[in-house]
Structure 1
């Protein structure tokens, strides 16, 4: 299992970022490859994801630890992916968002195609996550203006 951690500062209160992470239907606006997303109750979501020229649906479970502003998620089926969003208020107008993703490189490469094993795959995933965080930042900051 490989782990990736990234973080970004958002120019908005932690509550605004926390609310955005819970707007499942907005995931296509900031998560690369997500074509459609919908909540299935309070702790489950269905994501329609672009996969190597086609698409595939994934179910994911979400768990909140609201007072700590930590959201964890995990896919139900293959490939097994797990992640955590942790929000840390820096002041009343700035928030640090940290994401941690755990994945099996071979399963991700098999499903999504793309770069070969090793460093190239890890680098591609890192760029994708960085871009997703930047898009999340832009969306949250735009909504709070």
Structure 2
């Protein structure tokens, strides 16, 4: 498994960032490739994902630790992905959003296509950074 950690600082209070981040239906607004996302009962979520020219439906288990401002998730079928978002207050009007993703590059390539090895890891890094920047724009401007 490979692990990727990235963060972005956003110019909103932690409560506003948390409210926007932990709602499944908001994910398509800032996560590239997610076409639809919805919360289901029992801490589960359904995601329609398009990547590498392929569309997949993924099921995930999600746990919200609202008191700690941490959301953890993992897919319940292939490809195996494990991730989390953790929010930390910087000051009254600024929040750090920390994203962590654990994945097997070979499984991602088999599921969605794309290059092998280092090139794929770089592509995933760029995608996560872009998603965090999209979240920043979304939460700061409402778009």
Scaled to the shorter chain, the TM-score interval is over 0.9
CA contact (8 A) 1:90 1:96 kept: yes
Q: Which runs of 5 or more structure 2 residues have no equivalent in the other structure?
A: none
Aligned residues: 143
Query: What is the rounded CA distance, in whole Å, between the counterparts of 2:42 and 2:12 in structure 1?
Result: 25
**TM-score (normalised: structure 1):** 0.93
Superposition pairs for residues 85-124 of structure 1, below 5 Å?
85-117=85-117, 119-124=118-123
Query: What is the rounded CA distance, in whole Å, between the counterparts of 1:22 and 1:70 in structure 2?
Result: 9
CA contact (8 A) 2:74 2:81 kept: yes
Q: Which residue of structure 2 lines up, in the alignment, with residue 134 of structure 1?
A: 133
Q: 1:42, CA displacement in angstroms?
A: 5.8
Q: 1:39, CA displacement in angstroms?
A: 1.1
CA contact (8 A) 2:4 2:101 kept: yes
CA contact (8 A) 1:60 1:74 kept: yes
Query: What is the rounded CA distance, in whole Å, between the counterparts of 1:16 and 1:62 in structure 2?
Result: 20
Deviations 1:15-42 (A, max 9, x none): 1111111221121111111111111126
20-29 or 79-88, which deviates more? 20-29
| Structure 1 stretches of 4+ moved >3 Å | none
17-26 or 97-106, which deviates more? 17-26
Q: Which runs of 5 or more structure 1 residues have no equivalent in the other structure?
A: none
Query: What is the rounded CA distance, in whole Å, between the counterparts of 2:61 and 2:136 in structure 1?
Result: 23
Query: What is the rounded CA distance, in whole Å, between the counterparts of 1:64 and 1:74 in structure 2?
Result: 12
Query: What is the rounded CA distance, in whole Å, between the counterparts of 2:105 and 2:91 in structure 1?
Result: 37
Aligned alpha-carbon RMSD (Å): 1.4
Q: What SS class does the counterpart of residue 68 from structure 1 fall into?
A: coil
Superposition pairs for residues 38-53 of structure 1, below 5 Å?
38-41=38-41, 43-53=43-53
